Amino acid sequence: MTSNVKFRCIYLILISSLGLVSCGSSTSKTIEIKGVYGNPKPLWDKGYKLNDLGVNAIFVHNGSLNEDMIVRARAEGARVYAEFATLNGKGYVDTHPEAWAINEKGERVESATWFMGACPTEPGFRKYRFDQLRDLLLEYDLDGVWMDYVHWHAQFEDPEPILPETCFCKHCLNSFSKDNNIRLPDATTPEKAEYILKNHDAIWRKWRCQVIYDWTSNMKSIMTEIKPDALLGLYHCPWNDEEFNGARERILGLDYDLLKKTVDVFSPMVYHQRMGRDPNWVQENIEWFSNKIGAEDGAYPKIWPIVQAYNEPGIVTNEAFETVLRGGLAGKSTGVMMFTTHAIAEDEGKTEVMKKVYTEVRGKSPE
């Protein structure tokens, strides 16, 4: 190695430590979003200001939003994004049993630990959710809406996920038959399900992905009509194509090639501890996902992952939290957030980790 090359490498390492560039590249990646998930009140109650922590975005469940929160967050330099629990039918299906998802045995699916998926094709539920979205956009001036629970009934955030076969209600069976010009036998629901899975499994899986895509397309249309500059984001399962026998597409109905047509920002839910993964898995996953969707610098769709700070199960150490926070900025990611504000506020060590990482990285205002 010549002296000039040595000098240049030392120079790059030195200015990399200041957060300006990384060795091997001429410029550092610009980070748009340094976010927190959850009501910022726990941080405010501790006397913190968002901009003092390096935070420039909050992601809050739409039911927790209020005008005072939005005004204060914006005064502290933060964008405001609403989480929208799209296909979570908990509570709704109890009073609207026609929206209850049906398994291949013709039975109502059992509720997962914290999720009860509604049937995505049931007309009443669709209208209910789309009306809620319109009301939300008309009530608050938001920078974007993040869809959550956008998949067929299942639960993926555990080491051993819940992955039932759904949905074989009359709405789904009729829609599948009509959309694909497939005549189903005059039989019981279990017999129809068996017929589909045996004779038309590939078409069935693709159709289910199309149903989920249709939800994102409808939501994008509503947002374009009411708030055209707002972003449509998606919290989603981070599995690759092979995990659990391809269950991301096969069971959940998540086809990235379809979804990237309407989704502005993907937020993989890389909850390492919840899923029984090593903290370094976050970086590996985001690098894989960047290649999977063909993410490009400065273009949509963008990638802003959500990582785990919350101590359940077990304890997420400060070291692990820093690893996953930095891992969330790997690949083509231009933002990151963590779950949750309460977990950060109650742990001074994690607050300092977040502040350190967020003030280190070079940022800019989101577009």
267-284 pLDDT tens trace:
999 999 999 999 999 999
Average pLDDT, the chain: 92
Q: Does the structure show a pLDDT above 80 at 249?
A: yes
pLDDT at 21: 34
d(CA 303, CA 61): 20
Rounded to 5 degrees, what are φ and ψ at 35? -110, 170
Stretch 20-42: mean pLDDT: 72
pLDDT at 364: 58
Is 266 inside any structural domain?
yes
Higher pLDDT: 334 or 24? It is: 334
Please give the residue range of the domain that contains residue 68: 32-164+209-360
Cβ–Cβ < 8 Å for 42, 346: yes
- CA–CA distance from 134 to each of 114, 220, 311 (Å)? 26, 11, 35
Is 202 inside any structural domain?
no
**Rounded (to 5) percent helix, strand, coil in the chain:** 45, 15, 40
Residue with tokens 């949509």: 300
pLDDT at 59: 98
Is 116 inside any structural domain?
yes
Q: pLDDT tens-digit profile of 60-90?
A: 999 999 999 999 999 999 999 999 999 999 9
Confidence of residue 312 (pLDDT cuts 50, 70, 90): confident
Least confident range of 223-227, 295-299, 325-329: 295-299
Q: Does the structure show a pLDDT above 60 at 110?
A: yes
Please state the domain count of the chain: 1
Q: What does R_g of the chain's alpha carbons equal in angstroms?
A: 22
Is 218 inside any structural domain?
yes
Is 96 inside any structural domain?
yes
- CA–CA distance from 268 to each of 25, 146, 254, 285, 300 (Å)? 26, 12, 12, 9, 15
Is 187 inside any structural domain?
no
Cβ–Cβ < 8 Å for 150, 236: yes
Stretch 83-109: mean pLDDT: 96
Q: Does the structure show a pLDDT above 60 at 20?
A: no
Is 282 inside any structural domain?
yes
Confidence of residue 2 (pLDDT cuts 50, 70, 90): very low
Cβ–Cβ < 8 Å for 92, 118: yes
pLDDT at 29: 79
Q: pLDDT tens-digit profile of 139-165?
A: 999 999 999 999 999 999 988 999 999
Confidence of residue 111 (pLDDT cuts 50, 70, 90): confident
Determine whether 364 is exposed, middle or buried from the number of CB atoms within 10 Å of its CB (0-12, 13-18, 19+): exposed
Stretch 135-140: mean pLDDT: 98
Higher pLDDT: 263 or 9? It is: 263
Is 16 inside any structural domain?
no
Question: Rounded to an integer, what is the distance from CA 4 to the centroid of its chain?
Answer: 46
Domain of 302, CATH number, reads: 3.20.20.80
pLDDT at 362: 74
Stretch 300-328: mean pLDDT: 97
